[in-house]
Amino acid sequence: MLPQEFIPAAATFLIAAQWVGSAILEKLNRDQALRSRNQVPAAFQDTVSPETQAKSVDYTLAKSRFGDLSGLVDSVVLLALLWSGFLPATWSWLTEATGTGVGWQAAWLFGVGWVMSIPSLPFEWWAQFRLEARFGFNTTTLGTWIADRMKGMLLAGALGYPLLCLILKLVDWMGSAWWVWAWAVLLGFQILVLFLAPVLIMPLFNKFTPLPEGTLRDRLLKLGDRTGFNARTIQVMDGSRRSRHANAFFTGFGQFRKIVLFDTLIAQLSEAELEAVLAHEIGHHRRKHIPQRLLWAACASLAGFALVGWLAAQPGFTGAFGFPAGPEVAPALLLFALLSPAVLFWSSPLGNLWSRKHEFEADRYAREAVGGPEALIGALRKLSEKNLTNLTPHPWYSTFHYSHPTLAEREAALKSG
């Protein structure tokens, strides 16, 4: 590990490097978009109007400039928290006033997270009620927006607080091997949430209704039978309550599995196109992408816990940020959570490359399941137009930020046979 006196400088460098890297990528992407504002890409000149192209570029520019500002504020807030002395001061006050009970340690971690979320609230409001509204996407009300955040905070407390208490208690029970058990507990918790989410959690935020009887339902159920994907139900989610963006997904396992279509998606696509979109989602299931991602996430979290376990045992790590000398797990957990995004940013191209490979595989599966590429290409084009997707992202920007291939890349792959 670095000598204690170099750790603050290294942390500052990581945070600054992430922001500078993000700003450079945003500038490259804006310049690329501006060059194509008045020229529809050749591959889409028959389907995209000049007005739509110009509006999609304006949307890209607005989001990029907003992202630069919000990213800068996030970085400044993070640096201020790290170097103002706020974190060690509140930790020392807490331990002196209450001792080292795991309940209070977990409350401190939640409190810091809540304090960090406050500066981002005005930006979230602006993004929803100014930026998204300017381009015709916002449909939510202020009351719904506030309720969503209150529900999210209460849900995080109800589920996350006991989990944190248990993880911190494992330090007392298991000694230096606590991180292995903590990883196992977290993994079990995540699996439990995968089962509970479609039944108990998601209905807290959205309304789900069965897809009405009719030709669309019959078509989708036949697709499920044809592909061996038997879902418990096909449901429609009221996505239009918050946004005009559209999506489809399936959630749950076994008898709790269900197909979910946004009502906005149903309004925007034909039945053949909806079938192709659902076939794409089924393709992820049939190609076992979800278990692969879960396994990767489990391995990554194990590595993360191992690192936190090692860092917590190094007095110099937490001490470099002003915490009292001595092994401290709660401060080490917090510091790891604050600093890891600055490191993981530089590995995001690898994760995106893997994700895009899965998207190509799911596209190919959909093409075979519906008997050709036309329906999926039509759906992708309509969704791109409705969502004002940037048709000409800079290659480096998409490498770092796109988990899906570009529209041009997906069309070329679908047509290639």
Helices vs strands, H then E, count in the chain: 18, 4
Given a contact cutoff of 8 angstroms between Cβ atoms, the answer to whether 273 and 261 are in contact is no
Given a contact cutoff of 8 angstroms between Cβ atoms, the answer to whether 363 and 280 are in contact is yes
* β-bridge mates for residue 237, sequence order: 208, 262
Length of the chain: 417
Which residue among 281, 328, 385, 411 is the active-site one? 281
Whether residue 124 lies in the annotated active site: no
Name the residue with tokens 């993360």.
304
- DSSP letter for each residue of 155-197: HHHHHHHHHHHHHHHHHHHHGGGHHHHHHHHHHHHHHHHHHHI
Given a contact cutoff of 8 angstroms between Cβ atoms, the answer to whether 56 and 36 are in contact is no
Given a contact cutoff of 8 angstroms between Cβ atoms, the answer to whether 266 and 274 are in contact is yes
Pairing state between β 248-251 and 258-262: antiparallel
Whether residue 281 lies in the annotated active site: yes
Output the CA torsion 298→300→301→303 (10° steps).
120
Q: Measured between alpha carbons, how far is residue 194 from residues 191, 199, 263, 295 in Å?
A: 5, 10, 23, 14
Which residue among 132, 363, 385, 411 is the active-site one? 363
Q: Which residues of 87-113 are buried (b: 16+ CB within 10 A; e: fewer)?
A: bbeebeebbeeeeeebebbbbbbbebe
Pairing state between β 233-237 and 208-210: antiparallel
The DSSP secondary-structure symbol of 210 reads E
Nearest by Cα to 207 from 150, 283, 260: 260
The catalytic site residues sit at: 281, 363
